[in-house]
Amino acid sequence: MFLLNTWYVAASSDELSATRPLGRRICNQPMVFWRDASGKVAATEDFCPHRGAPLSLGRVCEGKLVCGYHGLVMGCDGRTVSMPEQRVRGFPPVKAYPVIERYGFIWVWPGDAAAADPDKIHHLEWAESPEWAYGGGLYHIACDYRLMVDNLMDLTHETYVHSDSIGQPEIDEAPPATRVEGDEVITSRFMQNIKAPPFWQMAMRGNGLDDSADVDRWQVCHFVPPSHVMIEVGVALAGHGGIDAPKDKKASSIVVDFITPETDTSIHYFWGMARRFKPEDAELTATIRAGQGKVFGEDLQMLEQQQKNLLEFPGRQLLMLNIDSGGVQSRKVLERLLAAEAAASAASTAT
C-alpha cells in the first residue's frame, strides 16, 4: 500500500550515464530510465512492445533508447520511434512516466501522468546552496517502506543498533515530542550537557571543535509524504543555544532519507547527509559518507528480519509507545492520503 500519484526518487543523477539505460522497479512497476541527446531523463515501462524484452538490456545511441534484442527505438512518450525496415505507427505504446531531474536525483511519478505536477517535488534548500555539502548512497532492503519510516521516526533505536557510533543512553532518557503540521510529522528530541558519541566527535573535529567538550544535541525528524524523512541533527558546544547556536559553535547536518518502494516488501533506500559546515572539504564529505554508510548498514538485518517476523505473525498488534508516535502519526497521514487517492481513483473510474 503506497501512494502512486506522487514523486519518488528513482535514482541519483550519477547512476544514469549517457549511454546505458537503467532498469529499476518502482512501486511494483518495472521502469527503464535513460537520457536523451540533451541529457534530459526519460522513463517508460521496461517492456519492449515488439517481443517483451526488457528495454533496460539495450543501449542509448545518440539519445535514443534502442532495444537490445531486435533494435526497436523507444521514444520518451512510450511510443515506438522506429525499427529497422518496419513501419511502427501501429505499434502499441507502453506507459511513459513523468520524470524530472532535480537536486541531484531523478524523480518519477508512478501514478496518473496527467496529475503529475513538478511543483509538488519538495524544495530542498541544502541541494541548491553552496553553503551545503552532500554525500549519500543507496541500499536495497527487503522490508515494507513503512518499517523504514518507523525506524527513522524513532531514534531510540540508535542506542541499540548503532551503539558504537551515534547511539547513547541519553537518547532513551530524553522523551520525544511529536506534532503533525498538515501532511508533515515532526518528532523532536533535545539533550543537554552530554558527551558527543563517536560519530559526532568526528564531525566536531571536522569543524575544528574540541571533541571532548560537553555538548547539546538535537534530533528533529520530519516525515513528508510519500516517504521522505529529513532529520535535522547536530551537536553544539553546551550552552550556546543548541540547534540555534552560531555556526562556529556547532556541527550540524540534515540526514536525508528517500524511501522508494520497490515492491510491497522491499525498498530502494537513498540515504545521505547534507552538512552546513566546511562544504568545500571533499575529504570530510567522504569521511562522513563512509561513516554514515556503515551506520545505516547496521539497520538492514534488523529491518529484514523484523519484516519476516511480521509476515509470519500477521495478526499481532504492535505496541504504540510515545517513542513510536512519529511512526504512528506518519502512518496516519499515509492512511488518510491513501484513502483520498483510492476515492479519487474510484470517482474517476465511475465517471
Residues within the interface to a copy of itself (CB under 8 A): 30, 46-47, 49-54, 57-58, 66-71, 83-86, 91-92, 150, 154, 156-157, 159-161, 169, 172-173, 175, 301-302, 305-306, 308-310, 312-313, 316-319, 321-324
Strand positions, DSSP E, 196-321: 214-224, 228-237, 250-263, 266-275
For a copy of itself, the closer CB: 317 or 351 = 317
End-to-end CA distance of the chain: 24
The residues pairing with 190 across neighbouring beta strands, listed in sequence order, are 218
Rounded to a whole number of angstroms, the minimum distance from the CB of residue 273 to a copy of itself is 22
- The distance of Cα 43 from the centroid of its chain, to the nearest Å, equals 19
CA distance 344 to 189: 37
Rounded to a whole number of angstroms, the minimum distance from the CB of residue 324 to a copy of itself is 7
Rounded to a whole number of angstroms, the minimum distance from the CB of residue 94 to a copy of itself is 9
CA distance 351 to 348: 5
Q: What are the grid coordinates assigned to 109, written together?
A: 511519478
For a copy of itself, the closer CB: 160 or 247 = 160
Rounded to a whole number of angstroms, the minimum distance from the CB of residue 177 to a copy of itself is 14
For a copy of itself, the closer CB: 173 or 244 = 173
Q: Which residues lie closer than 8 Å to 323 by C-beta, 6 or more apart?
A: 154, 156, 175, 176
For a copy of itself, the closer CB: 83 or 259 = 83
Rounded to a whole number of angstroms, the minimum distance from the CB of residue 306 to a copy of itself is 5
Kindly state the helix (H) or strand (E) to which residue 194 belongs, with its residue range. Answer: strand 184-195
For a copy of itself, the closer CB: 161 or 295 = 161
Distance (Å) of CA 135 to CA 132, 243, 255, 277, 281: 10, 21, 10, 13, 12
| Phi and psi, residue 278, nearest 5° | 45, 55
Rounded to a whole number of angstroms, the minimum distance from the CB of residue 56 to a copy of itself is 8
Kindly state the helix (H) or strand (E) to which residue 189 belongs, with its residue range. Answer: strand 184-195
DSSP-derived pairing of the beta strands 59-61 and 64-66:
antiparallel
Cβ atoms of 287 and 154 closer than 8 Å: no
For a copy of itself, the closer CB: 47 or 277 = 47
For a copy of itself, the closer CB: 15 or 304 = 304
Rounded to a whole number of angstroms, the minimum distance from the CB of residue 328 to a copy of itself is 11
Distance (Å) of CA 8 to CA 103, 113, 231, 276, 296: 13, 13, 18, 25, 20
For a copy of itself, the closer CB: 67 or 255 = 67
Q: What are the grid coordinates assigned to 188, written together?
A: 523532536
Rounded to a whole number of angstroms, the minimum distance from the CB of residue 63 to a copy of itself is 18
